[in-house]
Structure formats: structure tokens, C-alpha cells
Amino acid sequence: MIETTSTAKHFLGVPISRFLREYWQKKPLLVRQAFPDYRAPLSPEDLAGLACEEAALSRLVVHDRKRDDWTVRNGPFAESEFPGLGKADWTLLVQDMDKWDRDVRALLEWFRFLPAWRVDDIMVSFAAPGGSVGAHVDQYDVFLLQAQGRRRWQIDTNPSAPRGFRPDVELKLLQKFTPSHEWLLEPGDMLYLPPGVPHHGEAVDACLTFSIGMRAPSQSELLVDFAEELAANLPDESRYADPDLETPDDPFEIDAAALARVDATLAAMQQVDPARKAEWFGRFITRYRSAGDISAGPRPPDLVAAAKCLVDGGHLLRHPFVRAAWARSGKQAQLFVCGEAYPMGAKSAQILAALDRLDLGNYRRLDGKARLALETLLRRGHYQLQRPAKVRR
């Protein structure tokens, strides 16, 4: 089964346990009306306005059908550019819309059956009729929610489908694409694609598509970062050694004994305490593919001011660019925020990792170490005060 219809009990049309067992990272699934009668919380004009901002990550993809030529440009764009794009065959894409729009971010609550640190962002694309980014392959899981208008999706589930790229375009487009399945998605329909599935989407009419993408660091990225972590803590006297050296037959040959010593040296480096490895990964994954820099204002609040704000009925709002996760460390835990680790109790780490909005009740549940961490996070601009609204008499 590759197509289901959402139900009141199972929004993916199947139980979450079955989805994870049979579909997650294994095969595609089209869910009809995963979000029934869905209405996009933003308009194409809102998206275009944000694409004009310096801080937003935006791209514009235009397809010349006659020449089969593709061009891509990165933002920011001038407002005057959009009217000249024509009525067809172009797509505007803006990354990290969950950081810019609270209603878009609310969609992530539906995906809490996945580790939150695996979710990368929600990219929103507006496509004029015929608009597309071409047939391609992603190396990460993605949920493609049709938010407005209609889009035709084609996929190729053949494991041996060709995956060579066209050499004549800037985008990584497939040279050959032969679809095995084709669907027309209406607002509320959602297509899940695991990594490596060739696919092609094209707007039937002007449409908005939300792409909920996962973070999937490559093995090379993990290896390089972990190696740097290990190297930073190795003393200078830790070196290649050969106390068992014998006179070589050829002094210029790197013989099997030398390579065996290299293997032993590298193996010893990898004998890392699990707690240290967990700390490294927590710091790595909460800074990986960061949306942008976070800077504190000229007078960031301290913990005293924050506590007073909470007592008065206010809240602490976490900066939308903040990435947070936590891991157990013996009887305690560590909170990871944007590449930094903070020791505290497990309950406190759970609260600070999960909540974008802290109230007085949450604050009172934090232990002493967590409050010290919160003071540091306030100073770094990771939280700002939301003072209570004044009541008019």
C-alpha cells in the first residue's frame, strides 16, 4: 500500500507504529487529507515579502520550457522583480519558515512522533502554474504538504532508477526520470518521501507547498566533526610509536607492521566514553544547519528581571532560531542549545528543551543548575521577556 486516507484516529491513515515500521526511510506514502480542508496560514504575498529580507534564505527557480533551461537565483529579492516573472514556470522557495511564522511552526506538533532534533525546517514554496524545481533526489526524509492550490507529483520507486545529474544546469537535476506513480495533490494532501526517491512536482495552478524536512548529516560530516572533537583533547605527546621496531628489509617501504601500528593508534583514539560521545553529538546536532546567528540586545535581561516578569504574569519566549535537545548523563542530564552543553537534572532538561514559551510554573520546576543555564541563555539572547499585557480600566 502506497496511498492512504487520513482518519480521525490516524492522521497518516495508518497507526504511527506501522508508519515507522513499514514506511519511515523505506518507501513513500501518499496521505489523502492528512490535514482536512487545510488553509495556509500565510499568503504568496507574505512569502514574497519575506524573500525580500536580508535575513531570509530564499531562492527563485525559473524554467524556460522551450530551451529546457533552468536558472536559480538566491535572495534577497526586490519587490519590483516579481511582477516581471510572468504567469507561469517559476517557483519561489523560502527556508526555515517555521522560524519566521508561529502558525507555520505549529505544524511541527503533528510530527512529534519523530525525534525533534531530527526535524530540520519547514520550507515553503510558491509556484506559478507550471512552476517546478525539476526532477531530483533528496538525501533526507521529507513530508510534502499541499497547502494551497494543486500540484502534480511524480515519483520513481524503482531501486535501480538512474540517478545521474544533468551537467548543463546549476540545480542537481536528474538526467533521466521515468515515473512509476503519479498523483494530483489537493490542499490537505501530504506525500512522504524517504531519502533517495527520485521525484518531480509541478504546479497545476498557483500553489503553496510546505516541505517538512529532516536533518540528516552525512557520514563525512559526522566523521570530520568527531575527529576534530577527539583531536582537540589529545595531548601533544600522543603520537605514532613503534617500540617493537625491527630492521626493515627496505627502509623506504611502509610495511604491514607499520600499517598495523597505524590501525592500533586510530582504534585507541575511538575508545571514547559514551557520555563524552553523547555530549559531542548533542552539541553537534544542535548547531548543525543552524538557521542564523542569535545575538543579544544591548541590555539583555538577567535572571532577576526574568523571574520578576514571570511573577507578574509574563513569559520567556525562546528565540525561533534556537535548536535544543537533551540527553541523560548518569543520574543527571545535559541540555544542548546551539552547540553548547549545560548540566542539570533530567526534568529541567526536558522542560527547557521542549518549551518555546516558559511561564512561572515551568520556571519553578527548574533546578538550580538549570536556572544558572537559563541565566546564560538570557545573556546570549536565546530568550526574551514577554511582559504581561496591561489591562485598561
The strand order across the sheet containing 383-386 reads 357-358, 315-318, 383-386
Looking at residue 391, what is its pLDDT?
54
* In 155-255, alpha helices (H): 219-232
User: Could you tell me if 185 and 35 are in contact, meaning their C-beta atoms sit under 8 angstroms apart?
Assistant: no
**What does the alpha-carbon distance between residue 323 and residue 116 come to, in Å, rounded to a whole number?**
9
**What does the alpha-carbon distance between residue 343 and residue 370 come to, in Å, rounded to a whole number?**
7
* Bridge partners, residue 385, by sequence: 316
The strand order across the sheet containing 340-344 reads 324-329, 332-337, 340-344
> Tens digits of per-residue pLDDT, 305-323?
999 999 999 999 999 999 9
Q: Which of these, 89, 101, 90, lies nearest to 49 by C-alpha position?
A: 101
**What does the alpha-carbon distance between residue 306 and residue 288 come to, in Å, rounded to a whole number?**
29
Beta strand pairing status for 207-214 and 357-358? Answer: unpaired
Looking at residue 334, what is its pLDDT?
98
At a CB cut-off of 8 Å and minimum separation 6, what does 129 contact?
87, 88, 89, 203, 204, 205, 206
Q: Which CATH architecture has domain 3-214?
A: Sandwich (2.60)
CATH number of this structure's domain 273-393, picked from the four choices 3.40.50.720, 3.50.50.60, 3.40.50.300, 3.40.366.30: 3.40.366.30
User: Which cell is 145 given?
Assistant: 504538504
Phi, psi of 26 (to 5 degrees): -125, -50
Q: Which of these, 342, 387, 341, 386, lies nearest to 368 by C-alpha position?
A: 342
User: Could you tell me if 322 and 296 are in contact, meaning their C-beta atoms sit under 8 angstroms apart?
Assistant: no
**What does the alpha-carbon distance between residue 164 and residue 144 come to, in Å, rounded to a whole number?**
24
Residue ranges matching CATH 2.60.120.650 in the chain: 3-214
* In 94-205, alpha helices (H): 97-100, 102-105
User: Which cell is 318 given?
Assistant: 525562546
Burial level of 81, CB count in 10 A (0-12/13-18/19+)?
middle
Point out the residues of the chain with pLDDT beneath 70: 391-393
Looking at residue 122, what is its pLDDT?
98
Residue ranges matching CATH 3.40.366.30 in the chain: 273-393
E strands of the chain, at which residues?
3-5, 29-32, 58-64, 69-74, 90-94, 119-127, 142-148, 151-155, 181-185, 190-193, 199-203, 207-214, 315-318, 324-329, 332-337, 340-344, 357-358, 383-386
At a CB cut-off of 8 Å and minimum separation 6, what does 338 contact?
286, 287, 290, 294, 322, 323, 324, 382
Give me the amino acid identity at 379. Answer: R
User: Could you tell me if 217 and 285 are in contact, meaning their C-beta atoms sit under 8 angstroms apart?
Assistant: yes
Looking at residue 392, what is its pLDDT?
56
* In 12-83, alpha helices (H): 16-22, 44-51
